[in-house]
Amino acid sequence: MFRKTKSNLSRIVRQKELELKSAKIERELIKLFNNYVKTSVLAEIHALDDSTQLLNVINIGKRFQKICDSIGNTPDYKKMFNFLSDVRMRDREISRLVTSMKIKYGFNNPEKFRVEHEILGENLDFILQSLKSQYKSLQQEENEIKLAKQQKKEEKEKIKLDKKQDKQIFLNLDVHSYIERLKISTPVQKVEKWAQSKFHPDKLEENKLKIKNYRKNVTENKEKKFQKDLTLNEERTLLKNWIKEFREILFKFESNAYFNHIIDYSNAFLKFNEVLDVKFKNNPQFEGKTSQLRSDLREFYKFLEDWIIRVNIKYENPRKKNPKEDTVNKKNIDEFLKKYELNRSKFIINQEDSRILKIIFKEEKANQKKLKAKERTEKKKQKDVINPRKPKKKKNSKEI
């Protein structure tokens, strides 16, 4: 019983919504038509209010009558009773006006001079197209609102379904498996995507493609906007992170008693340290930052020298060395030493990507503003064509 009442109520509400929408469309069409009659038909007739122009007035009356008949026969307006009654009322009004002018200027008197072969009133036919376009735009607007409501409803249903599925998983599986399932569930993915778009938008696939296309078509002037040297703090952070990672490797080797690994890695680093020192000194990228970076390198260089001395003393006794130690892989050492340059170049690219993305977003925002401004001007032009504005009367100084 309750369900039946609920369905009936929803049907009544839906019917009421449709009635309100159709009434809104009808009001807009009545407003447009009345404005047309006032500014075009009546204005044209009053402008020709003369005995010599009587034939042209009659021509306008006939043309307007045809327009009204055409509106009455259009299927889209069949259920718009208020609009059709307004059209009929205006038709009778114009026919009465034309009849009164016939009597006033003696239409049946053949001796009176009339202007012949002058066709007027072609500009009156535009109302049919205006009404049609207005009706279509209003219908389209209503359809868009309807579609938006439908999409919202579907989203709500999807959320409900997701909740039911998660609840079922919780009931059927143990807590651990439920947590594992939760990690890949839709809401969690949405949160992860939101966090990525908020803090690392350059990592999203669609933004990566935008950045790639921007780099392809970039000019030299635009390159200067996103290609900037790293700051001293950034350079020091990269260097210190790399040194910290190297220290952790050495501590790991010492905990496993890998004597040969410690010695080979340390010697390789000391040699590479000299290469880096020369690079910091001569490369223009490090201009103004050389002294501080070289100071950080020297500090670790001293630490490493002391470390090697201590390790040699510690492992003088061969029994302390790990007999299961593998042979040192020189390739791994080279890869680690190259890691600093790789990390630095990756960091620079990431910085550039984030700057490029800001430029792209800024350009997109500017383009959207231009499009919106263009649409507003076009709508204003269309509105002025349909509803022309009257010029404001200037007040005389005497009246003031």
- List, for residues 82-128, the tens digit of each pLDDT value: 888 888 898 888 888 888 888 887 877 776 766 655 554 555 666 77
Q: Are residues 376 and 235 in the same domain?
A: yes
Q: Are residues 13 and 132 in the same domain?
A: yes
The predicted pLDDT at position 301 comes to 82
Q: Are residues 359 and 250 in the same domain?
A: yes
Q: Are residues 242 and 365 in the same domain?
A: yes
Domain-ending residue, one of 147, 176, 202: 147
Note whether residue 200 is domain-resident: no
Q: Are residues 262 and 351 in the same domain?
A: yes
The count of structural domains within the chain is 2
Note whether residue 208 is domain-resident: no
Per-residue pLDDT reduced to its tens digit, 70-86: 888 888 777 788 888 88
The predicted pLDDT at position 3 comes to 47
Per-residue pLDDT reduced to its tens digit, 154-187: 888 888 887 777 666 555 544 445 455 445 455 5
Q: Are residues 137 and 252 in the same domain?
A: no
The predicted pLDDT at position 167 comes to 66
The predicted pLDDT at position 361 comes to 77
The predicted pLDDT at position 1 comes to 47
Q: Are residues 228 and 140 in the same domain?
A: no
Decide if pLDDT at 31 tops 80.
yes
Global pTM? 0.41
The predicted pLDDT at position 20 comes to 59
Decide if pLDDT at 6 tops 50.
no
Decide if pLDDT at 9 tops 50.
no
Report the chain's terminal Cα–Cα distance, integer Å.
73
Residues spanned by the domain of 53: 2-147
Domain-ending residue, one of 126, 147, 168: 147
The predicted pLDDT at position 277 comes to 79
The predicted pLDDT at position 314 comes to 81
Q: Are residues 116 and 18 in the same domain?
A: yes
Decide if pLDDT at 243 tops 60.
yes
Going by pLDDT thresholds of 50, 70 and 90, the confidence category of residue 4 is very low
Decide if pLDDT at 250 tops 60.
yes
The predicted pLDDT at position 333 comes to 82
Taking the C-alpha atoms of residue 295 and residue 301, their distance in angstroms, rounded to an integer, is: 10
Note whether residue 372 is domain-resident: yes
Domain-ending residue, one of 147, 173, 204: 147
Q: Are residues 16 and 131 in the same domain?
A: yes
Note whether residue 181 is domain-resident: no
Q: Are residues 233 and 349 in the same domain?
A: yes
Q: Are residues 126 and 244 in the same domain?
A: no
Overall average pLDDT of the 33-58 stretch: 79
Going by pLDDT thresholds of 50, 70 and 90, the confidence category of residue 387 is low
Note whether residue 194 is domain-resident: no
Overall average pLDDT of the 226-246 stretch: 80
Overall average pLDDT of the 3-26 stretch: 57
Per-residue pLDDT reduced to its tens digit, 324-356: 888 888 888 888 888 888 888 888 777 777 777
Note whether residue 248 is domain-resident: yes
The predicted pLDDT at position 392 comes to 59
